[in-house]
Amino acid sequence: MNTFQDWLFLVFCVTTLIQLVYYWFVFGRFVFYKIPDRKLPDVPVSVVICAKNEYHHLKKNLPVILNQDYPNFEVVVVNDASDDETIFLLEDLDKEFEHLKVVTIEKDLNFFKGKKFPLALGIKSTKHEHLLLTDADCLPASDQWITEMAKGFSNEREVVLGYGPYWSSEGFLNKMIRYETAFTAIQYFALTLWGKPYMGVGRNLAYKKDLFMKEKGFISHYKVSSGDDDLFINKVAKKSNTSIVLSPQSFAFSAAKSRFKDWWRQKRRHLSTSKYYKAIHKIILGGYSMSYIILWITFILLLALQKFILVVAILFLIRLLSQIIVLKLAYTKLEEKKLLLISPLIELIITALYPVMVGFNLVSKESRWK
């Protein structure tokens, strides 16, 4: 192996092998996972929602949450200094539902410019040990949402990770957002099943209040505007205390961003937290991304040099076919439709965009959650 082309071909083969390992042995943990038949839960649950100028979302979604088919639960809504009609809606609902508790922040005292302060206040205001978190713009897939998510709890299981998909609509941006959301879920579900949980999404996440208090809440990363979900889970989740819930009745849906600049700002905010992940999670997640990028670079160079073209094409197609098969199985579990064939293209586009977002984050910060 004396030439540059030989070394290039070797790197291509190695990165292809790495990609296949990720798809079949890492992500495969999720796609071949058999959902267990868990018993009905018998624990009181506190649902916690933070709302800042969310009148329209609360009007649509909050009654569905308040009318969940679950014997013992409360809903705590933190009204974070809203200046729309949120307070009047909550006052009306408070008269109708005795299990609704409203916590109002009169003035914008949130010096950290994120969701953590109101969320921590809401958690401390709950009366039950088992917490279920979602956002004001999220709508449970069924009236069994609390029941299904609560099934993930046990004496040992203190953290329950759920899925928060986006509704399908027309347009490429919607498909791109839904792909990125589904692929992120595949990753955090797969790593949890591997015994290395690293994140959850605040749209559909549960954990025990005692765990939150014992770990002193968000204090270790309060100055990071995002991370009320992934950074907290990255800190407290372990193989022994974390479970996943995949029942379609447990999903919590929301609407994807309709404008590219809004999604761009949202993703920049999310990406700003990943640098605080544990080293092992950075290595695992970075290993997939780097091997994917290097695979493409070596693939293009080998085609341009017209070296080992037949073998390169076969290996590339094997990787592509593996991706499609694994994603097909994963999308079936997550009930994601009309994404499969366009997913390889979307992955390429998002991979190209992420370094640009990271560059923007180095020179400016996205600190707003509302």
Q: Are 204 and 211 in contact (CB under 8 A)?
A: no
Burial of 235 (0-12, 13-18, 19+ CB in 10 A): middle
pLDDT of residue 119: 94
Sheet holding 205-208, edge to edge: 100-105, 73-80, 45-51, 130-135, 205-208, 159-161, 242-244
pLDDT of residue 370: 57
- The pTM of this model reads 0.93
Q: Are 347 and 338 in contact (CB under 8 A)?
A: no
Q: Which tokens go with 344?
A: 């390889």
pLDDT of residue 269: 79
Q: Which tokens go with 180?
A: 């990125």
pLDDT of residue 282: 94
Regions in the chain scoring below 50 on pLDDT:
367
Q: Are 80 and 48 in contact (CB under 8 A)?
A: no
Listed in order, the ranges of the chain carrying CATH 3.90.550.10 are 34-185+192-263
The position carrying tokens 């267990």 is 36
CATH of 34-185+192-263, one of 3.40.30.10, 3.40.50.150, 3.90.550.10, 2.60.40.2890: 3.90.550.10
pLDDT of residue 116: 87
Tell me the residue ranges of DSSP E strands in 235-363.
242-244, 252-253
pLDDT of residue 74: 98
pLDDT of residue 111: 56
pLDDT of residue 112: 56
Question: HSE (CB half, 13 Å, CA atoms) of 7?
Answer: 3
pLDDT of residue 25: 97
